[in-house]
Amino acid sequence: MFYDGIVIAILVALFRGGRFSPFADMNLKKGWVFPILLVFQIMIFSLQNKYELIGQYSNLSFMVVYVLGLYFLWINRNLPGFNIILFGVFLNFIVMALNGGRMPVSLEASTVLDPYYMEALTNNLYGKHAAITDSTKLAFLGDIIPLSHPYPKTRVISIGDIVMNIGAFIFIQKIMLSYKK
> pLDDT at position 174, please?
96
Q: Give φ, ψ of 160 to 5 degrees.
A: -60, -40
- Alpha-carbon span 165 to 107, nearest angstrom: 23
> pLDDT at position 48, please?
64
> pLDDT at position 49, please?
61
**Cβ-count burial 106-133 (b if 16+ within 10 Å, e if not):** beebbebbeeebbebbeeeebbbbbbbe
In the predicted model, residues of the chain with pLDDT beneath 70 are 1, 48-58, 125-127, 180-181
> pLDDT at position 153, please?
85
> pLDDT at position 180, please?
60
> pLDDT at position 155, please?
92
What sign has the CA pseudo-torsion 9, 13, 15, 16? positive
User: How far apart, in Å, are the Cα atoms of 119 and each of 124, 136, 174?
Assistant: 8, 19, 42
User: How far apart, in Å, are the Cα atoms of 174 and each of 10, 17, 81, 107, 170?
Assistant: 11, 12, 9, 37, 6
Beta carbons within 8 Å of 136's beta carbon, 6+ residues apart: 99, 104, 130, 142
> pLDDT at position 64, please?
87
> pLDDT at position 136, please?
96
> pLDDT at position 50, please?
66
